[in-house]
Amino acid sequence: MFDLKAIRENPSDFDAAMARRGLEAQSHDILTLDEKRRAVQTALQTLQQERNEKSKEIGKVKAAGGDAQETMDAVSAIKDKMTALEDQDRDLGEELKTILSSLPNIMKDDVPDGADENDNVEIRTWGEPKNRFGANDCPEHYDIGEKLGMMDFETAAKLSGSRFVLLSSQIARLERAIAQFMLDTQTEKNGYTECSPPLLVSTDVMYGTGQLPKFQDDQFETTDGRWLVPTSEVVLTNIVREEIVEAESLPRRYTAFTPCFRKEAGSAGRDTRGMLRQHQFYKVEMVSITHPDESDAEHERMLKCAEGVLEALEIPYRTVVLCTGDTGFGARKTFDIEAWMPGQNAYREISSCSTCGDFQARRMNARFKAKGEKKTDFVHTLNGSGLAVGRTLIAVMENYYDPADGGVVIPDVLKPYMGGIEKIVKA
C-alpha cells in the first residue's frame, strides 16, 4: 500500500517507480479518484455543519413555542443527501483501495534494472560446485530417493494428486533433522524467537502481507473463508498487525518451521518431477520487524543468517540480487541464495531474503513510537527463508551422494540429529 500524500506531491516519481516494474503510469487514475473522494468528503462536512446548525434552530424554535416542522424537514433532507454521499465515499474508497492494492512495492534505487531472472546480478559465491565423490554425473534427488526406497511420488499421487511426495525411513528423518538444525541455528545462534503459529488465517491477514488480492489463484481457501498459509511469513509478520509497538522493542525477530501450501498455478510445466515445486512443502522462515533506520542493515544480517546454514552444511551456493523484472510483488529489494544441485548441474533458489519497507506495514496498520512520544510511524518488515527444507534436502542428497553404493552421506552438523547414522543406504 502507498502513501496517497506522497503520490499527490510527486506523481511523476510514482509513475517512474511503477515504470521500473514494467507498468504504465498510474498516478492519473489514482489522483482522479482521490480528488473525487475528497470532494465528496468536503461536501459531507459542509452538509454536516449545515445539519448541526439547523438542528440547533429546531431547539430554539421549539423553546419559543413555534412550529419547527419546516426546519425539521430540511434536516431530514440533509440527512438523505448525507447518506447518498456516504455511500459514494465508501464506493470511491473501495475503488481506490482496489487499485492501490494491486500495485507492487516501489523498489530501492540500487536494485538493478532487468527483464527477468537472466538479468539478476551475482554478488558472491561460496564453495566449489562439484560432486565430492568424484563421479562425472550425479543423479537427481528423485532417482536417488526412489532407488533407496524412501521417496515415493506414485503413492503420494494416489493419495493427493500430483506435486506431492511421501518420504519414509531415514530420508524422512533427514528432512526432520534438517528442519531441527535450521531452527536451532536461527534461535540459538542468530537470536530469532521461535513460534508455532496457526496454519489457517483470515483474509485480512493474507491481505496484510500482500498475498491477497493479487495472488488469490495461488492460494488454498477453506470453505469457511480462511486460508492455508503459503508461508509462515504471513503469520509472523501479522503479529504486529493493528498495533503500535515501542521503538525500544525493535527489532523483533521471529522464526517458525511450518508446512506451506501453494497451488503453483503459475508454474504449469515447471519442475514437474521431484520435490522442487510442490503444493505442500516445509520451510523455516525468518521475519524481522524493524525501525526504518535499521532495515537495510537487518536485510544484510538476515541474508547472512540464511547463508550460514548452507555453509554449515558445506553446500556450495551463490547469492544474487534480483533485478526489477524478477523482484516479488511486496519487496523493495531481494537477495536470492541458490544452492548447487549436482543432479541438475545448476544453482537453484533455496532462499529469498526480502526487505519490504513500510509496504506491508501500511496494509497491516503496524506502527511504532518512541518512548514518551505521541508521534507514530510505520515499521519496516523483512522476510527470508532460513531455509526451504525440501530444497535443502535435495541439495544434501545430491551433494552428499555416493555413487559407490547409491547412498547419501550425512553432513557432520546433522549427525547429532540423526541418532548416529553416518550414511543413508538402501535397507
Domain boundaries of the chain, sorted by first residue: 4-101, 117-424
* Residue 140 DSSP symbol: -
The architecture of the domain spanning 4-101 is Orthogonal Bundle (1.10)
Crossing angle of the two packed helices 27-63 and 69-101, in degrees rounded to 10:
160
Closest alpha carbon to 210 in 386, 383, 4, 25: 383
Tell me the backbone φ, ψ of residue 407, rounded to 5 degrees: -90, 180
Yes or no: say if 200 and 191 are a contact pair by the CB < 8 Å rule: no
Crossing angle of the two packed helices 169-184 and 141-148, in degrees rounded to 10:
130
Q: How long is the chain?
A: 427
Helix, strand and coil percent figures for the chain, each rounded to 5: 45, 20, 35
| pLDDT at residue 269 in the model | 65
Apex CA 296: angle with CA 281 and CA 127, to 5°? 55
| pLDDT at residue 114 in the model | 97
DSSP letters, 180-214, are HHHHHIIIIIT-PEE----SEE-HHHHHHTT-TTT
Based on its alpha-carbon atoms, the radius of gyration of the chain, rounded to whole angstroms, reads 27
**Cα gap 347→211, rounded to integer Å:** 27
Yes or no: say if 401 and 342 are a contact pair by the CB < 8 Å rule: yes
State which fold the 117-424 domain adopts.
Answer: BirA Bifunctional Protein; domain 2 (3.30.930)
- Which pLDDT tens digit goes with each residue over 30-75? 999 999 999 999 999 999 999 988 888 877 877 778 777 888 888 8
Cell output for 5:
500524500
Give the residue ranges of the chain where pLDDT is below 50: none
**Cα gap 141→137, rounded to integer Å:** 12
Same CATH topology for 4-101 and 117-424?
no
| pLDDT at residue 372 in the model | 86
Cβ contacts of residue 99 below 8 Å, gap of 6+? 26, 29, 30, 33
Yes or no: say if 181 and 414 are a contact pair by the CB < 8 Å rule: yes
- Single-letter amino acid code for the residue at 71: T
Q: Is 187 exposed, middle or buried (0-12, 13-18, 19+ CB in 10 A)?
A: middle
Cell output for 197:
503459529
In percent, the amount of the chain with pLDDT more than 90 equals: 88
Burial 343-359 (b: 16+ CB within 10 A, else e): bbeebbbbbbbbbbbbb
Yes or no: say if 34 and 8 are a contact pair by the CB < 8 Å rule: yes
Residue 134, by phi and psi: left (phi above 0), alpha (psi -120 to 50) or beta? left
Helix (H, G, I), strand (E, B) or coil at 282: strand
Enter the pTM of the model.
0.93
Cell output for 317:
551456493
| pLDDT at residue 134 in the model | 67
Yes or no: say if 106 and 17 are a contact pair by the CB < 8 Å rule: yes
| pLDDT at residue 54 in the model | 83
- Long-range pairs of 35-44 with CB within 8 A, sequence gap ≥ 24: 36/92, 37/89, 37/92, 37/93, 37/96, 40/85, 40/88, 40/89, 40/92, 41/89, 43/85, 44/82, 44/85, 44/86, 44/89
